[in-house]
Amino acid sequence: MTTLFSPIRLRDLEIPNRAWMSPMCTYSADPSPSAAGRPTDFHLAHYSARAAGGAGLVMVEATGVAPEGRISPFDLGIWDDAQTPDFARIASAIRAQGAVAGIQLAHAGRKASTGRPWEGGDWLSTEEYGWMPYGASPVAFPGGPVPHEMSREDIAAVVTSFAEAARRALEAGFQVAEVHAAHGYLLHSFLSPISNQRTDEYGGDLAGRARLALEVIDAVRAVWPQDAPVFLRISTTDWVEENPEDSRESWTYEQSAQLTAWAGEHGVDLVDASSGGTDI
């Protein structure tokens, strides 16, 4: 018999089945400064409908832990306490349908400040609600601007932003927090040697490149209840090692396996595995 429709327990949280809704960006938030990041009635209807459809867990889309951490100005964000009540409506609606409410906490890093995909997805100027992205190193994503290389102070601020976002998510009623470290966004850009060319303690070998991701996990775990699960989303490979014509060092399955082991030691309960995103 299949276990797809059987409950699963992670820490003290029982999820009614194993058919879950993955976090998928909708690019439907209001970009105006007064409403930036806040979920709307669209998001309320969207997520409550998925929960009513029988999903055991509904994971709210990548939600920026800082304004500049959004992929686009049309993304959700939870960097301000004033946004918490709007997210509480979403979490409550998901739970009311019998599903578990999860939220993916994210920072887009060097891939931030783009338009909506169906409008071309081009990088936006400050006149178009855009901003200057930053990342591990001043290495541009193909076709994008060269990001600002993060200082140690910038890195510390990002770790704090993840922790504060997790605190707000908990206050809003979410039961699962997922740290987004995939698809070429900020944490993945530190993990991959394609985008991380640092020579300090946040670069170099695997332990250095994984340092920020583990610090973020620790910060989220510190504010998240010990009886509730924390997930980690990773890209298992950059898809560069499979290309015999590309000799660059990249993020690989073997490194993902080691990161997964470390993440478990730091309190991650489930790794959500995807791939790609650092290189075209």
* Residue 107 is assigned to a structural domain of this protein: yes
* Over residues 58-76, mean pLDDT: 98
- Whether pTM > 0.75 for this model: the answer is yes
Spacing of C-alpha 240 from chain mean position? 22
Residue 167 structural domain: 30-274
Question: Taking residues 69-81, what's their average pLDDT?
Answer: 98
Is 163 domain-assigned?
yes
Supply the pLDDT for residue 104. 98
- 5 in any annotated domain: no
Provide the pairing of β-strand 76-77 with 230-235: unpaired
154-208 pLDDT, tens digit per residue, is 999 999 999 999 999 999 999 999 999 999 999 999 999 999 999 999 999 999 9
Would strands 230-235 and 134-135 be described as parallel, antiparallel, or unpaired? unpaired
Tell me what percent of the residues of the chain surpass a pLDDT of 70. Answer: 100
- pLDDT score for 112: 97
Residue 233 domain-assigned (yes or no): yes
Catalytic residues: 185
Within a domain: 103: yes
Bridge partner list, 272 = 233
- pLDDT for 262: 98
| Buried/exposed code over 166-179 (b: 16+ C-beta within 10 A; e: otherwise) | bbbbbebbbbbbbb
Q: Which of 264, 273, 52, 276 is nearest to 185 (CA)?
A: 276
Residue 138 burial by Cβ neighbours in a 10 Å radius (0-12, 13-18, 19+): middle
Q: Is residue 159 part of a domain?
A: yes
What is the rounded average pLDDT of the residues 55-76? 98
Q: Quick check: 249 and 197 in contact, CB under 8 A?
A: no
The mean pLDDT of the chain is 96
* pLDDT at position 1: 67
| pLDDT 10s digits, 237-246 | 999 988 888 8
Split into its structural domains, the chain has a count of 1
d(CA 185, CA 277): 8
| pLDDT for position 186 | 98
Would 6 be classed as within a structural domain? no
> Is 35 or 244 the better-scoring residue by pLDDT?
35
CATH number at residue 72: 3.20.20.70
Does 176 fall in a domain?
A: yes
